[in-house]
A and B are shown apart, each in its own frame.
Chain A
Amino acid sequence: MRNCLIVGQPNVGKTWTSLRLTEASGAQVAHIVQELPGGEVREHTYRIHEAVARFVGAAEHTTLGVQTMGLAAAAIGGRTVLLSDSTGLRPQSVEDRLIRQGMAKTLILLTSCTCILHVVDLSEIEEERDTLSEMDRLIQDLAMARDAPYLLLFNKADLRGARKRGARLQKRMRQLETHLISAKTGEGFGAVLRAVRKASVVH
């Protein structure tokens, strides 16, 4: 079974990205299994737009634990691919035990998943330096060392100036597989889905 991890810093749009990907795979509903810190497991079935309203709200939202959803098998060449939407990795020291447990889950998945989708918020990239933050570079380093398929997704391309910056970064990171996406508008997900399918077949 293929297991793709969606990883990144908090509030870069991981949850929305995974819902968009589910949508792009042709699934009508998202079947979501929530694994909460502490061991509680909940299952939900939502239509995509309901799930977006439920999990992505306008206010800052924190995913605790892991939310797993399946991609429609048809779109992935008949294989089952699970998407794991994880707790964001934040660089500041965290007092909250629940968030830390969630982050520990993310770390475990980082080392065990078969494919890594790394989401980066274009609007958070430092204006002058034009490079990834320290945290994102560490995630990237680990993914590279693991030798698992790795996709870098530049999210929030719909924001002003983001598209230009994203293009610059893509050019700089030519050796990596990068995609410019917007979870808000749904732009770029067809290409990401194709990449996920390719990664699932090869490995």
Chain B
Amino acid sequence: MRVPRQNDRMQSLSLNRIVERFERGQLPLEESLRQMRRTWAADPRKAASEVLAEPLLPPRQTALAPLQDLVGLQDVKRVLDELYSYVAVQALRKNMSLAFDTSVMHMVFMGRPGTGKTTIARVVGQMFRSFGVLSSGHVVEVERADLVGEYVGHTAQRTREQLTRARGGVLFVDEAYSLARGGERDFGREAIDTLVKGMEDRRADLVVILAGYEAEMLHFLNVNPGLYSRFPLQFLFADFTERELLQIAAAMLRGRDYRLAVDAQVTLRQVLRRSREHPGFSNARTVRNLIERAIRRHAARVIQVDDPTRADLTTLAAADFHEEGYCAQLSDRWSTQCR
């Protein structure tokens, strides 16, 4: 007889636990055998703690934690919260080798620029990964130019390449409606077909998200029959309110170690209010541009101060946010040239 090793107790503890979970039907046989084998092969002490500690699912708070840090987006948060239960049950089913399907997880994100579509896509990817629904959860961002080719046959190949890149994660198609522009003979049509086909082929390990302006996306879904049913989850990203924009600004400043002088708070609010009415307004992105512009102006101002104090280096003044002449009339794309 071999001499029992010292860590035999830990080992038998984790083995018992595996067998127990199998017996209760919580673990399929294959997985049980694999885990038992790992318990033997690896350092038993570590394996044991792994098996004992491993929760079946991440708790709701953990899975949805990244959402807590985001300002606004109440509707989106509510739907994702509902989705948690659904995904959790799917993950449990997958764990027990029951039929399971990600094809019902494809989504449409509708909203103006800067409303957090890409950010939420990342959160969704990580959330699905933590459930084991997706294997890696990374986000591949593409737009029309990445999918549509220049000559016959090129498009399908390009689209398939992107699908392969996104395997295990999320394929995020920005301004997806532009795939349908250009009429019948355009290659965009082919890109859509390849995308849909790829979604069905790789249904086990890919989530596709189509994103774009609300009106355009609704039109896009309407003129492409079959898309509605393939993208059952539709999220509307509302524009941020003035209050939320200020919260976003505050969070951005905190992250960069700046703060606002009292008069600067008023000015920022005024500037935001005015630019919200502008058609080129892009929500959080506009806020970021405003703040970055202010930081540059602040730097130009502070460099002239002799021996600046800590307060000098961190405080943004009202003057840093003032609009100069017609700059405010232009979309932020152009306003950068006004510096």
| In contact, B33 and A90 (Cβ under 8 angstroms) | no
* Inter-chain contact B37/A141, CB cutoff 8 Å: yes
Interface membership of A74, Cβ < 8 A: no
Nearest CB of A to B278, in Å: 58
A71 within 8 A of B: no
Q: Which residues of A contact B41 (CB under 8 A)?
A: 145
Per DSSP, chain A at the interface is: helix
**Interface presence of A135 (CB below 8 A):** yes
Please classify the interface of chain B as helix (H, G, I), strand (E, B), loop, or mixed, using the class held by over half of its residues: helix
Q: Please tell me if B182 contacts chain A, counting CB pairs below 8 Å.
A: no
B23 CB contact (under 8 Å) in A89, A100, A138: A100
Interface check A170, CB cutoff 8 A: no
- Whether A100 contacts B28 by the Cβ 8 Å rule is no
B30: chain A residues at CB < 8 Å are 91, 134-135, 138
A203 contacts across to B, CB distance below 8 A: 1-2
Closest 4 CB pairs of A and B: A145-B40, A104-B23, A138-B33, A142-B37
Q: Which residues of B are found within 8 Å of A142, using beta-carbon distances?
A: 33, 36-37, 40
Asked if A108 and B19 make an inter-chain contact with CB atoms under 8 angstroms apart, the answer reads yes
A-B interface pairs (CB < 8 A), number:
53
Number of B residues contacting the other chain (C-beta, 8 Å)?
A: 23
CA distance A107 to B37 in the complex (A): 11
Chain B residues closer than 8 Å to A111, beta-carbon distance: 12, 15, 36
Sampled A-B contacts (15; CB under 8 Å) = A93-B96, A100-B22, A103-B22, A104-B22, A107-B19, A108-B19, A111-B12, A111-B15, A111-B36, A134-B30, A138-B33, A141-B33, A142-B37, A145-B41, A203-B1
CB of A76 within 8 A of chain B?
A: no
Task: Please tell me if A48 contacts chain B, counting CB pairs below 8 Å.
Answer: no
A97 to chain B, nearest CB (A): 8
